[in-house]
Amino acid sequence: MADAVGRVHGLFSAVANRISGHGSPLRRTLSPIYGRALSALSRERGIGITINGESFRIDPRFRSVFPEVYEPALLALMRDRLSEGDCVIDVGANLGIWVMHAARLVGPRGRVIGFEPNPATAETLRRHIKMNGLEARVTIEPVALASRSGTARLFGAAHGAGTSRLDGANPEGAAAHVEVDVPVATLDDYCGQMGVRPRLVLIDVEGFEGEVLEGGRRTITANPAMTVVIEMHPTLWPAGGLARMHAVLDALGREMKGISDQSDPLTTYGQVVLEPVRSTTMAENFPVTKTEEEWRAQLTPEQFAVLRQHATERPGSCALLQEKRAGTFKCVGCGQALFVATRKFESGTGWPSFFDPIDGAVGTTVDRSHFMVRTEVHCSRCGGHLGHVFEDGPPPTGLRYCINGIALEFEPA
């Protein structure tokens, strides 16, 4: 029966394309009626469609949401980086294009977790998973992800597909929308509680990209092999959104690379992949060298993320910011003395700041990550990333060495 419905749908579509365009008033009027008729005829099996060369079954009411070719560059990246048995998290799974593609790629031993907080959309997504026989490898979580757990107001499309968004209606979405309070979690909390270690995280949350990344900091920095792909919506960011994204990328030790044709991955709509920052210091020879495994065994996950992956701690988070005793600040990686307390000053930035290091204690490189040019500072003995130096400090040097406190240990005089 469903296959017959599919053939009827194909014939009807061919005829409709001949007599009216996709955006014609007649087609917009008749399309919902036709969709309901198809849904009634196909019952729970849906209709067959092809997306990026893969055959799937879907609820016919949402056939217009599933184009025959959809973001092929992203699919190519997924095929390159995923293997059978991997785990994928899709944040903002919508009706399931990427959930279903991912489930096919990771195979029966793999796992796909789709976060979709819009109740109507999540229900349709579950039907799509069932129609395609993927229940054993797909979990749908009716939860939104953000920077902290709790509840939030979700503004969703009234038809149950597309541009759902937290804390305000999507100005780029449909005019009609519904409002509902939904549970909110963080990626860190979820992965920690469920014991999940994703190989790929997809994020499409209509302007809340920074929120999701902030809530996944521990998970992302602890897994440098993890691929993170974001659909960027910079026009939907609140005031200060660009600066916030810079800070988030610094904290994660990641930089953006476009996989769509956008001119500037950070400020233009499109798909981007977050790659670990590759420092030139890692290729140099230092007196103290260790393997990645040895560094991980010695350092805490947070210390490793900063010293070895160029992450940035949260401003105001380190106790050394308030340290005012006489003494010496040393590299937590190798113990080399870096700064004396008499050269520390209050910069108001939230990070320990110094106007001059001990002679020969630090090295610098040009840091071109996040589409900026900065001067990176590292320990000259082990190459561990410390922070950056800026030309807005006090006399006598006029420099501000802005240092991650977690990269330091203090030895009182």
CATH number at residue 150: 3.40.50.150
Q: Is residue 25 part of a domain?
A: yes
User: Phi and psi (nearest 5°) for 56?
Assistant: -135, 165
Task: Answer whether 260's CB lies under 8 Å from 271's CB.
Answer: yes
Per-residue pLDDT of 77-122, as tens digits, reads 999 999 999 999 999 999 999 999 999 999 999 999 999 999 999 9
pTM, two decimal places? 0.69
Q: Note whether 32 and 61 are same-domain residues.
A: yes
Tokens representing 263?
């001119």
Residue 405 has pLDDT above 80, yes or no: yes
* Domain boundary residue, one of 217, 248, 276: 276
pLDDT band, residue 2 (cuts 50/70/90): very low
Q: Is residue 368 part of a domain?
A: yes
Mean pLDDT on 175-195: 89
Mean pLDDT lowest among 273-282, 287-296, 320-329: 273-282
Residue 399 has a pLDDT of 94
Q: Is residue 70 part of a domain?
A: no
Q: Is residue 204 part of a domain?
A: yes
Tell me whether strands 227-232 and 374-379 are parallel, antiparallel or unpaired: unpaired
Task: Answer whether 156's CB lies under 8 Å from 118's CB.
Answer: yes
- For residue 380, give the nearest of 315, 289, 296, 316 by alpha carbon: 289
Residue 20 has a pLDDT of 53
Task: Output the domain CATH number for residue 397.
Answer: 2.170.150.20
3-state secondary structure of 406: helix
Per-residue pLDDT of 204-248, as tens digits, reads 999 999 999 999 998 998 887 899 999 999 998 888 888 888 888
Mean pLDDT on 138-152: 96
Residue 292 has pLDDT above 60, yes or no: yes
Q: Note whether 300 and 335 are same-domain residues.
A: yes
Q: Note whether 260 and 125 are same-domain residues.
A: yes
Residue 263 has pLDDT above 90, yes or no: no
- For residue 281, give the nearest of 309, 312, 311, 248 by alpha carbon: 309
Q: Note whether 213 and 148 are same-domain residues.
A: yes
Instruction: Out of 148-152, 279-283, 287-291, give the one with best mean pLDDT.
Output: 148-152
Q: Note whether 262 and 405 are same-domain residues.
A: no
Q: Is residue 157 part of a domain?
A: yes
Mean pLDDT on 182-207: 95
Cα separation, 11 vs 64, whole angstroms: 16
Alpha carbon separation from 235 to 128, 171, 179, 268 (Å, rounded): 31, 10, 22, 8
Q: Is residue 76 part of a domain?
A: no
Total length of the chain:
413
Boundaries of domain holding 209: 82-276
Instruction: Out of 10-24, 93-107, 298-312, give the one with best mean pLDDT.
Output: 93-107
Per-residue pLDDT of 38-73, as tens digits, reads 565 555 678 889 999 999 999 888 888 899 999 999
Residue 322 has pLDDT above 70, yes or no: yes
Residue 8 has a pLDDT of 52
Q: Note whether 305 and 238 are same-domain residues.
A: no
Q: Note whether 382 and 315 are same-domain residues.
A: yes
Name, in order, each residue with C-beta under 8 angstroms of 316's C-beta and a sequence gap of 6 or more.
350
Mean pLDDT lowest among 146-160, 362-376, 395-409: 362-376
Q: Note whether 56 and 169 are same-domain residues.
A: no
Mean pLDDT on 310-322: 89
Residue 33 has a pLDDT of 55
Residue 233 is given by DSSP the state -
- For residue 200, give the nearest of 114, 328, 262, 295 by alpha carbon: 114
The overall average pLDDT reported for the chain is 86
Alpha carbons within 13 angstroms on the beta-carbon side of residue 343 total 20
Mean pLDDT on 14-20: 52
Residue 6 has pLDDT above 60, yes or no: no
Residue 78, amino acid: M
* Domain boundary residue, one of 276, 296, 312: 276
- How many structural domains are present in the chain? 3
Q: Note whether 190 and 311 are same-domain residues.
A: no
Residue 404 has a pLDDT of 95
Residue 149 has a pLDDT of 95
Kind and range of the H or E run holding 382: none
* Domain boundary residue, one of 258, 276, 294: 276
Q: Note whether 202 and 311 are same-domain residues.
A: no
- Token look-up 């929120």 returns 211
Residue 403 has pLDDT above 90, yes or no: yes
Residue 311 has a pLDDT of 85
Residue 335 is given by DSSP the state -
Cα separation, 273 vs 249, whole angstroms: 12
Residue 13 has a pLDDT of 56
Q: Is residue 396 part of a domain?
A: yes
Task: Using a pLDDT cut of 70, give the percent of the chain over it.
Answer: 83
Q: Which of 191, 318, 382, 402 is catalytic?
A: 402
Q: Note whether 53 and 168 are same-domain residues.
A: no
Chain-centroid distance, C-alpha 77: 15
Higher-pLDDT residue of 47, 127: 127
Q: Is residue 75 part of a domain?
A: no
Q: Note whether 313 and 397 are same-domain residues.
A: yes
Is 402 catalytic? The answer is: yes
